Chains A and B, each alone.
Chain A
Amino acid sequence: MKEWYSMAIDFITAQKSPLSTRERKLSRVMLFFEDIVKVPLFGCQHCGECILSSTAFICSQQCPKRIRNGPCGGTGAGGSCEVYPDRTCVWYRIYYRSKFFHRISLLYHTKKIHNWNLEGTSAWLNVFKKRIEAPIWFVHNERQQGKELNSGDIQRKG
């Protein structure tokens, strides 16, 4: 029989991800602070492989198809989602916000295939552990550089 406090920690840090116990605890603590910011402001879906920095701080995982690389072909007139026509396509919002912040060039970057082992873990911890790429929001600002970047210029720092 395990000690009651180790069972309590398992209860609090219940996650399907294959992290070690120590990292699970750390991830839980960081996730607490991460969620305060990310869930209400950006609609975070806890994929653990955060790409918010290149999607104009709108979580692309809200898309019913969970596409990480731009809208599917079904966006309706006025930007309605093809699956739920009463909602706005997530990528439609991402596009217009990226345009507003002069960061269209970030949308040219192809996102890697999602690592499902990171689902539900703290993305900030994953950045520190170098499991995922670092945020790139502050690297490119087309307005500061005075020109529109083309895709060849995109080099992700990580």
Chain B
Amino acid sequence: MTFREKVESNKFIVCGEIVPPKSCDGDIVREKSKYFKDGIDAVNITDNQTALVRLSSIASAKILLEEGIEPIMQMTCRDRNRIAIQSDLLGAAALGIRTVLCLTGDHQKFGDQPEAKGVFDLDSIQLIATVAKMNSGFLLSEQEIKKAPEFLIGAAANPFAEPFEMRLIRLHKKIAAGARFIQTQPVFHMELFAKWMEKVVEMGLHETCAILPGVMPVKSEKALLHMKNEVPGVNIHDDYINRMKHARDPKEEGIKIAVETIQTLRNIKGVRGIHLMPVMWESITPVILKEAGLGTFN
């Protein structure tokens, strides 16, 4: 079953995430990909996350395709203008990549080369509209594409950042532009997420689009505090920090929290799946899926 069929059906979706290495060693991607073979429908490939130079998302996605895993190629607007974006999308389609996640991208300030020029020619909503237009057979210049790509378009949402109503407006715009699945920031504040999801269901946005909340297993209290203080837009409830602080085995506790989060999310109305992002801890994926009872879903 391809990822597109899964999104269009009513089955529970599980996405993974791989961060490509800071080298030209494709074997590292292959190595990481083996943890995502069972029970995962598609795997995100980040596009120079936090403005750090890494192996390109198109190349990594191609490596995943060779390994028999369906990639979700992330595409950001920070590094490319509209010409490069369209060209890269055509190239990705030619390589057999069928899913693209449209993001505005982190500001270059967060990387190790903050003096770089941030392009931001388009923003994420305009990027979604661009991909949708290319799917319908036209470039932005209204020129016809002889063989149009068939991308499944994804987008991101952050239910935890203020102003909350504006988040729903953005989500509405993204879905109207053509997004068919939405991945959110990692959920560490269940109350806020449930409230957001209630509003999403109220607006009927979950009907045309699969909402996939993020789940992030963390190794230690330090990692959680780093997320809280350094990563913008992440909202972490103090309960989780306390639990990690007083745990005898922080890793075990991290897995427990992730599994609990998945089980709670599955019971929230409108949630169609999860997006598992074990950043720099890919090996834990099979363990979490097994404990959450998700491996059998495929």
Contact = CB atoms under 8 A, between A and B. Distances in A.
Contact of B173 (A64, A83, A108, A116): A108
Interface in A63-90: 64-79, 82-83
B185 interface: yes
Interface string A76-118: 1111001100000001100110000000100110111110100
Interface residues of A, number: 32
B162 interface: yes
Contacts of A96: 163
Interface string B159-197: 001110110011011001100000001000000000000
A89 B155 CA distance: 21
B162 A77 contact: yes
Given A69-B125, A83-B109, A110-B177, A92 B156 contact: no
A56 to B, nearest CB: 12
A74 B169 contact: no
B180 to A, nearest CB: 17
Interface string B109-129: 100000000101111111001
B82 interface: yes
B158 A70 contact: no
A151 interface: yes
Where chain A touches its partner, the secondary structure class is loop
Identify which of B105, B106, B123, B185 gathers the most chain A CB atoms within 10 Å of its CB: B123
Interface in B54-86: 82
B26 interface: no
A21 B122 CA distance: 29
A82 B169 contact: no
Nearest to B170: A70
B104 interface: yes
Contact of A83 (B107, B157, B176): B107
B107 A64 contact: yes
A12 to B, nearest CB: 28
A112 B130 CA distance: 11
B140 interface: yes
Contact of B232 (A82, A91, A116): A82
Given A82-B233, A83-B107, A113-B140, A69 B123 contact: yes
B205 to A, nearest CB: 11
A156 to B, nearest CB: 14
Contacts of B125: 69-70, 110
Contacts of A82: 107, 232-233
Contacts of B106: 74
Contacts of B107: 64-65, 74, 82-83
Contacts of A64: 107, 109, 118
A83 B114 CA distance: 11
Contacts of B169: 70, 104, 107-108
Given A73-B185, A95-B163, A151-B176, A67 B232 contact: no
Contacts of A111: 126
Contacts of A113: 82, 121-122, 126, 130, 140
Contacts of B104: 65, 67, 72
Contacts of A70: 125, 166, 169-170, 173
Contact of A73 (B109, B122, B157, B172): B157
Contacts of B122: 113
A73 B156 contact: yes
10 nearest interchain CB pairs? Answer: A73-B158, A74-B232, A82-B232, A74-B233, A69-B125, A75-B161, A67-B123, A70-B170, A95-B163, A83-B107
Interface of A: 64-79, 82-83, 91-92, 95-96, 104, 107-108, 110-114, 116, 151
